[in-house]
Amino acid sequence: QCITHCPVGALHERSDVSRVFDAIDDPEITTIAQIAPSVRTSWHEGLGLAKDKASVGRMVAAVKSLGFDYVFDTDFAADVTIMEEGSELLDRLGKGGDGPMFTSCCPGWVRFLKARYPELVSKLSTTKSPQQIFGALAKTYYAKLLGVDPSRLFVVSYMPCVAKKAECAYPGMDAAGTGFDVDAVLTVRELTRQIKSRFLNVGLLEERDFDAPLGIASGAGHIFGVTGGVMEAALRSAYYLVAGKNPQPDAFKEIRHEGAEFGWREKTFDLAGRSLRIAIASGLSNADALCAAIQRGDVHYDFVEVMACPGGCAGGGGQPIHEGRELAAERGGVLRAIDAKSAIRFSHENPAVQACYETFLEKPLSELAEELLHSDHVDWSMPCAVCSDGTIASR
């Protein structure tokens, strides 16, 4: 009964570890792993691996050692999300919509909004989350590049999130037409169990690169895992789309949180001559207060980012748990540092994303992009729960 009352759909963690190992061991199946931004900040915590050894390259090596054919970066798909969501924002603003547009990459937030504020659901961006955009592109664009029938691909997500296990089975998450675009979702805790079950000594592994092209990402894609990161990444590219030139990469840093207090922040930016009112809510109590204020007409925004977990995915429900210690702020700082050091800081400058549009999607919001990468949230009802056998009980 409790799972039908959980506002974010997080109370139904089921393990998909053996299903994933079965796919890896099947010679007829090509297995693809995607790794979410914040996993790189925490994957070592349950393995007793020192921070200075827990590089991104060693994380990739560890996942490759599990037997996957390809290991890619969800951050590539985060860059595609920005291309679509930034274009959608400008499109909505151009049409004089009655704002705000809400981000929709957090399934905990989407479930909360559908349950508590159904009258606000039309304000959700139709752009799918990076996890789902990756799955849709893996089974269409990448299947074509590989020359493999998409029904022979098995896509596994490594996520900091329990709600993502439900998201991959939501209505419309089968854009490629061969079943669900993402076949299994494993949390960071499950990754730890997998590595331990294969007796991998990760500290001794040679660092490896993500595979190309879906492993190439910008700094903007990396910060999706920290509260405010989606907004900042979107503003960088929205500015470019309006002004025709890049802003300073850190031009919107005022929206970053300081310390471990996560709340509801607001700011007005001048977006190349256009005034844009934005807000960021971290944690569902802040999101609840923000939605109520919007409904009362007390506040007016153009664009709102909400992440259900305090601190964003860095503090997600699928992350390692340390009794009495809250690591979201520290992990988020790691993502900020990776962004600062990235050679590419803008989603629209990611060459792999540019190639994907040039050779496949054509342009943001194209007919194909709408078909594969967007979901009309008003159009479908939230399933109540994912049962232990993997089926979904409808409301």
- Nearest to residue 292, comparing CAs of 154, 130, 116, 56? 116
Binding mask 143-162 for ligand SF4 (x = CB under 6 A): -----------------xx-
Span near ligand SF4 by CB under 6 A; candidates 11-19, 116-124, 171-179, 302-310:
302-310
- H or E element in which residue 221 lies: helix 219-222
Binding mask 162-201 for ligand SF4 (x = CB under 6 A): -xx-------------------------------------
Lookup: tokens for 207: 């660092």
Indicate whether 307 belongs to the interface with ligand SF4 (CB under 6 A). Answer: yes
- Nearest to residue 383, comparing CAs of 104, 181, 120, 170? 170
| DSSP letter assigned to residue 79 | H
Encoded amino acid at 256, one letter:
R
Residues forming beta bridges with residue 32, ordered by sequence position: 70, 155
Encoded amino acid at 229, one letter:
G
Which residue number is nearest to ligand SF4 in terms of Cβ?
316
Answer for the pair 309, 319: CB distance below 8 angstroms, yes or no.
Answer: no
Q: Which is nearer to ligand SF4, 361 or 373 (CB)?
A: 373
Q: Which is nearer to ligand SF4, 93 or 163 (CB)?
A: 163
| DSSP letter assigned to residue 161 | -
One of 90, 166, 308, 335 touching ligand SF4 (CB under 6 A): 308
One of 106, 138, 217, 226 touching ligand SF4 (CB under 6 A): 106
Indicate whether 228 belongs to the interface with ligand SF4 (CB under 6 A). Answer: no
Q: Which is nearer to ligand SF4, 59 or 308 (CB)?
A: 308
Indicate whether 312 belongs to the interface with ligand SF4 (CB under 6 A). Answer: yes
Indicate whether 316 belongs to the interface with ligand SF4 (CB under 6 A). Answer: yes
2 vs 385: CA distance, rounded Å: 10
The tally of CA atoms less than 13 A away on the side-chain side of residue 391 is 3
Residue ranges that bind ligand SF4, judged by CB under 6 A:
8, 106-108, 160-161, 163-164, 307-309, 312-313, 316-317
